[in-house]
Amino acid sequence: MKITDITFTTGNGIASIEATVTWEQGNRPPFRFFIQTIEAHRDMISPDPNAFLVATLLSAWHYGETRISVEGTLCPLLANNLEGVFMMLKAWYPDQFGKPPVLEPTQGFKSKLPGGIGTVSLMSGGIDSLCLLRSNHQFYPAGHPDRIQSVVTIEMRKQPVAGLEEFTGIFAGRLTSVSAAAEDEGVSVMPACTNVYYMNPDGYFYGQKSYSSQLSAVLSFFSKNFHHGLIASSYDAAFASKPWGSNPQLDAYYTSAHFRMENSGSEMTRLRKVGIVADWPVGYRSIRVCQNDNSGSSNCGTCEKCLRTKLMLEALGKLKGCPSFPEDHLEVELLSYLETYQMLSSSDPLHNPEKVYQYGLTLPHLRARGRNDLADYLQSVLDKLV
């Protein structure tokens, strides 16, 4: 694989970074990679060759590329850390990867100092990212280098955006909630759209393998002004060994000398995260967890993530009055969608234990609140997963 023709342009209210990805093994057409943000944030991003490497690494490996040639200089620390990525994924999926590609920067390997001292995180409006922002600000005082200063919200698109009006329209739904939470915590929001997912548009590959590499790459393009990037944890420490595309150990391997990546929040259960967000009035109103609305503008209230979040809010006595869902109550009839639509079925060998554990956290709280109807039904569902 060769990464060439790297450009950084501004115009029509948009700042765009692009590069041509040329495959050297197999018959695949060149891929024109892009990442865009609004022109007002043009000084926040840069065409860092290390970010291009992180963005393309796993697709190149997956498709059997023997090398990755990148225009510019690569960080030797990042190159060293990526050996950990190769080892972890090969151990998890021994039959799905061959020999890792050799890294060949056209200007060699050289470390550089961080471009800034701030911390930036991803923000989707989901429980994990909302809790990350809120808890980070509770733990780190103003002025601390690890305190989040800005958040990036991402839209995956096949084609670049032509102008600011189109860009604003794409993010309108998500920014309604994300901006409210960010403003309340005094941080800026930087929307970014990219086609990195479409280099290998496979949901399994993304979720199980490349999730954090793609997200780390997006944050790495903002390393010009930040030294530290945060990805909210997907699972807590009880399932930290679960093969998944984002993991505390795996995510840290995408660190360079000038930009440190970290998976944050695995010390908290999902139930605790919901409680932290529910106790934050603006965050409470900004919850966007829906699997059926990729725009981030609303929650359907009936998909698995909506049901799980509503159940946890009910267990904590926080569902009544919650404006984030179409209905602020939960009955057995709706919870039964978990079985009716087979929402808890998966071929993942750790899926059942993880769901029994995660949903099981709510049982004593539901009973303490007198919701034995929900607790009894949920227990019957979980018993079938054991």
**Rg, Å, the chain Cα set:** 21
10 Å Cβ neighbour count for 277? 28
- As given in the structure block, the two tokens for residue 35 are 């990442």
Query: pLDDT per position in the chain (386 positions), as tens?
Result: 999 999 999 999 999 999 999 999 988 999 999 999 999 999 999 999 999 999 999 999 999 999 999 999 999 999 999 999 999 999 999 999 999 999 999 999 999 999 989 999 999 999 999 999 999 999 999 999 999 999 999 999 999 999 999 999 999 999 999 999 999 999 999 999 999 999 999 999 999 999 999 999 999 999 999 999 999 999 999 998 899 999 999 999 999 999 999 999 999 999 999 999 999 999 999 999 999 998 899 999 999 999 999 999 999 999 999 999 999 999 999 999 999 999 999 988 889 999 999 999 999 999 999 999 999 999 999 999 98
Between helix 270-278 and helix 304-315 the angle, nearest 10°, is 70
Local structure of 127: helix, strand or coil: helix
pLDDT at 241: 87
Spatial separation of the C-alpha atoms in residues 188 and 40, rounded to whole Å: 12
72: left (phi over 0), alpha (psi -120 to 50) or beta: left
pLDDT at 386: 87
pLDDT at 143: 95
CB 263 within 8 A of CB 248: yes
Local structure of 88: helix, strand or coil: helix
118-192+203-264 carries CATH number 2.40.160: no
pLDDT at 347: 86
Between helix 351-360 and helix 304-315 the angle, nearest 10°, is 30
Which 8-state DSSP code applies to residue 296?
A: S
pLDDT at 370: 98
Helix (H) / strand (E) containing 261: strand 260-264
Spatial separation of the C-alpha atoms in residues 58 and 92, rounded to whole Å: 14
10 Å Cβ neighbour count for 169? 10
Q: What are the structural domain ranges in the chain?
A: 2-105, 118-192+203-264, 294-385
Spatial separation of the C-alpha atoms in residues 8 and 47, rounded to whole Å: 7
